[in-house]
Structure 1
Amino acid sequence: MKITTILLLTLVIIFITVTLTLAQPGLPGSPEQTPIDGGLGILAALGGSYAIKKLRDKKQD
């Protein structure tokens, strides 16, 4: 009984210590969200088409 009590107390202390040590603070405020719109979407589409072209060119060689 004494060993079980000591083991349980030790585990509780370890869990509390780990919880306090690994606790992370939250964000200071809500960050501003930047929408992904026209320009970035066009650049992504052009990059994708360029990658496809390069893969097809490499396949033909």
Structure 2
Amino acid sequence: MDGRLDPLISEFETLEDAELYDKWFRAEVEASLSEPAPSIPHDQVFAEMDALIATKRKARNAR
């Protein structure tokens, strides 16, 4: 076997690619969890993004 993964089962071409991504992802999660800054509530983030999207749409439609 050449080490390639089935594209119907995995988004990665090889097991090595999958393992490297997993290692990177776990490091990112650990860094985020250890960040001392306060978390932003989910509802607040979505409210801010909705407002940003509305502003961008309004500007685009005003052209």
Same-fold call, TM cutoff 0.5? no
Higher relative contact order (CA 8 A, sep 6+): 2
TM-score bucket (shorter structure): 0.3 to 0.5
TM-score normalised to structure 2 length: 0.38
Please say which structure displays the higher CA radius of gyration. 1
The structure with the greater share of residues assigned to helix is: 1
